[in-house]
Amino acid sequence: MRIMIIHGPNLNLLGRRDATQYGTLTLDKVNRAIRKQARELQVEARILQTNHEGTIIDTLHRRRKWADGFLVNPGALTHYSYAIRDAIDAIGKPVVEVHLSNIYEREDFRRISVIEPVCLHQVVGKKVESYLEGLAFLVQYLQQNER
């Protein structure tokens, strides 16, 4: 089973961003935790971080045949990128949306996720655990729903 993980804008700066929202881990450490869990779940994981909306869309397109599912944290693009929403809708692959912070308990503009309606599942507010829980959910879904 193959999972593509996409971190969006500004997540490369984890560790220096607001620790109360995002935790203290750097992106490297988050990725280490994801890779460890992927090994335990016996799935192949590829991880990309990009600050560019178009690269997220290109990755969803290009990896749609390789990946059985996607785990995506689109950062602030979550709240307004209809282009990412359309890409998720178009590829026909399960996508789990994750956020380190609880977007529903922050500023008004963060309370809307335009991708949530086209995602399989959403995990928010658990810091690095959001990724781990999201990955476990996706893998279980794929196992139950034969690829």
Provide, rounded to whole angstroms, the least separation between the CB of residue 144 and ligand DQA: 27
Number of residues in contact with ligand DQA under rule CB under 6 A: 10
Do the beta carbons of residue 147 and residue 1 sit within 8 Å? yes
First to last CA, the chain: 9
Among 76, 104, 111, 112, binds ligand DQA (CB under 6 A): 76
Which residues have a Cβ under 8 Å from the Cβ of 136 and sit 6 or more positions away? 37, 41
3-state helix, strand, coil in the chain (%, to 5): 50, 20, 30
Stretch that binds ligand DQA, among 31-39, 58-66, 83-91, 94-102 (CB under 6 A): 94-102
Q: What is the largest CA-CA distance in the chain?
A: 40
d(CA 14, CA 29): 9
Provide, rounded to whole angstroms, the least separation between the CB of residue 137 and ligand DQA: 16
Interface characters, 98-137, with ligand DQA (x: CB under 6 A): -xxx-x------x---------------------------
- In the bound state with ligand DQA, the residue whose beta carbon lies nearer, of 1 and 83, is 83
Provide, rounded to whole angstroms, the least separation between the CB of residue 109 and ligand DQA: 8
- In the bound state with ligand DQA, the residue whose beta carbon lies nearer, of 100 and 142, is 100
Q: Is 49 in the site for ligand DQA (CB under 6 A)?
A: no
The DSSP bridge partners found for residue 72 are 6, 97
